């Protein structure tokens, strides 16, 4: 499988618009949409805007074709080299500290938004206390990942890909930038409320060490979604496939530009999961508010939608779907992925599932990478991207073996008290 790197242009052309639905009708969206028009123009001369200057150019194949042409963009070797050199020049401690302060402010806003949704209740309070203990135990690893995120020359943070305030992504670059590289777009989890691109820092680092460019999107390519992000990404792909089969408006990207979709610990039938989430502390009233009402649950349930005979032609456009799930996941049971796989098989889609015996909701995404050494999930992903186990091992062998970031006893204790 030849690596193809496809990303939205950051030039003055219309940016690719990923319609990541559903989104919570939280106060932060209202505040951002009410921002004055002058804010975007004034930011053009700021250091952050300078960081977001165009570095990707359209490939020659994009110029030709008629009718429903599909634009493809290639990350070339010179552009990657110039990007890498740009990150090593002009970086100052003051700018890095300023970025860190801005990110911290945004995280605080997201936390306040979550608190406004959840309110106060016994079940939520116990989970909040468990979360504090969980984060404290994993803090040695979080601090090291945070340092990498804010100060590594291989990370480009908050690149603008659209005209809305949260249309930002983080880019993780391999150390070697020779030749074309495969690209992964990652949509993180966050209970559909506090999804944030920095949550993907650990995954981005590990994949970049294996020669893969990773774009962590803030809510053409390989697409990865985790937890709520897996659901959002699945909804986005299916919605785009339906658009391409009908007479709906044209968009700036195509499902054919996505080679594979990886769903990690996701849920795909909201009609069946709403009561489960309620029992876990994501109360029914809150969840229905996020999903824009009970009447819309079916619209945000890919497992239900693909069974509609009126969209059967859209199924043939879907990329290869690979789902990963731990069998001990309590936040979203592994049966959610199993049922979605069975349904996709039934309608003729290309789909596979990998179940990790005894793994929880956070094992695959947090505890296992923090443990260092061999990572089974990443090896599965790399095998698909590079077209086979042997080819993947050739790329992995040149990457340094990840070191342990958190002592084992702390990982085990955090696993036991995890609220997820």
pLDDT band for position 308 (cuts 50, 70, 90): very high
Sheet with 155-160, strands from edge to edge, namely: 155-160, 168-172, 213-217, 183-187, 222-226, 260-264, 320-326, 351-356
Per annotation, catalytic residue among 9, 227, 254, 337? 227
The whole-number pLDDT of residue 25 equals 39
The answer to whether the beta carbons of residues 213 and 182 sit under 8 Å apart is yes
Distance CA 367, CA 327 (A): 15
| Of the candidates 82, 217, 71, 230, the residue with the CA atom closest to the CA atom of residue 158 | 217
- Residue 66 vs residues 62, 213, 244, 376, 377: alpha-carbon distances, Å: 10, 30, 16, 44, 41
Active site residue 361: yes
Per annotation, catalytic residue among 231, 325, 361, 380? 361
Per annotation, catalytic residue among 51, 170, 239, 329? 329
The whole-number pLDDT of residue 4 equals 33
The mean pLDDT value for 306-334 works out to: 93
Q: Domain-by-domain residue ranges, the chain?
A: 122-217, 221-365
pLDDT band for position 77 (cuts 50, 70, 90): low
Structure tokens at 141: 């690893």
| Of the candidates 330, 329, 389, 317, the residue with the CA atom closest to the CA atom of residue 355 | 329
More confident position, 182 or 360: 360
Distance CA 232, CA 237 (A): 9
pLDDT band for position 213 (cuts 50, 70, 90): confident
Active site residue 227: yes
The whole-number pLDDT of residue 251 equals 67
Q: Is the pLDDT of residue 32 over 80?
A: no
The whole-number pLDDT of residue 390 equals 67
More confident position, 288 or 390: 288
Q: Is the pLDDT of residue 266 over 70?
A: yes
Mean pLDDT computed over every residue of the chain: 74
Tabulate helix, strand, coil % of the chain (nearest 5): 50, 10, 40
Does the domain at residues 221-365 carry the CATH identifier 3.30.110.40?
Answer: no
Q: Is the pLDDT of residue 185 over 60?
A: yes
């Amino acid at each position: 499988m030849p690596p193809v790197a496809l990303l939205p242009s950051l030039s003055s052309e219309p940016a690719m618009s990923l319609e990541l639905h559903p989104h919570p009708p939280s106060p932060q969206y209202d505040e951002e949409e009410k921002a004055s028009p002058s804010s975007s123009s004034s930011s053009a001369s700021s250091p952050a805007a300078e960081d977001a200057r165009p570095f990707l150019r359209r490939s020659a194949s994009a110029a030709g074709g008629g009718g429903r042409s599909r634009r493809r963009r290639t990350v070339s070797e010179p552009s990657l080299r110039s990007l890498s050199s740009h990150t090593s020049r002009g970086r100052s401690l003051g700018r890095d500290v300023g970025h860190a302060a801005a990110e911290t402010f945004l995280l605080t806003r997201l936390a306040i938004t979550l608190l406004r949704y959840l309110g106060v209740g016994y079940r939520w309070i116990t989970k909040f206390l468990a979360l504090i203990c969980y984060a404290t135990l994993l803090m040695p690893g979080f601090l090291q990942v945070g340092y990498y995120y804010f100060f590594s020359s291989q990370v480009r943070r908050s690149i603008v890909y659209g005209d809305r305030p949260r249309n930002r992504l983080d880019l993780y670059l391999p150390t070697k930038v020779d030749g074309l590289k495969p690209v992964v777009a990652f949509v993180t989890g966050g209970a559909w409320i506090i999804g944030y691109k920095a949550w993907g820092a650990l995954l981005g680092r590990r994949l970049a060490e294996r020669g893969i460019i990773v774009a962590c999107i803030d809510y053409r390519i390989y697409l990865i979604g985790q937890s709520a992000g897996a659901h959002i990404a699945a909804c986005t792909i299916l919605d785009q496939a339906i658009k391409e089969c009908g007479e709906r408006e044209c968009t700036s990207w195509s499902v054919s530009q996505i080679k594979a979709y990886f769903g990690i610990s996701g849920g795909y039938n909201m009609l069946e999961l709403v009561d489960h989430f309620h029992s876990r502390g994501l109360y029914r009233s809150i969840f229905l508010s996020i999903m824009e009402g009970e009447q819309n649950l079916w619209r945000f349930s890919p497992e239900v939608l693909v069974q509609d005979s009126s969209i059967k032609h859209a199924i043939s456009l879907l990329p290869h779907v690979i789902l990963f799930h731990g069998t001990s996941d309590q936040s979203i049971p592994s049966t959610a992925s199993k049922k979605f796989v069975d349904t996709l098989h039934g309608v003729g889609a290309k789909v596979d599932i990998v179940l990790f015996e005894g793994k929880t909701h956070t094992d695959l995404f947090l505890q296992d990478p923090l443990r260092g050494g061999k990572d089974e999930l990443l090896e599965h992903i790399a095998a698909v991207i590079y077209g086979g186990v042997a080819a993947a091992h050739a790329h992995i062998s040149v990457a340094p073996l990840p070191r342990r970031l958190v002592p084992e006893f702390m990982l085990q204790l955090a696993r036991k008290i995890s609220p997820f």
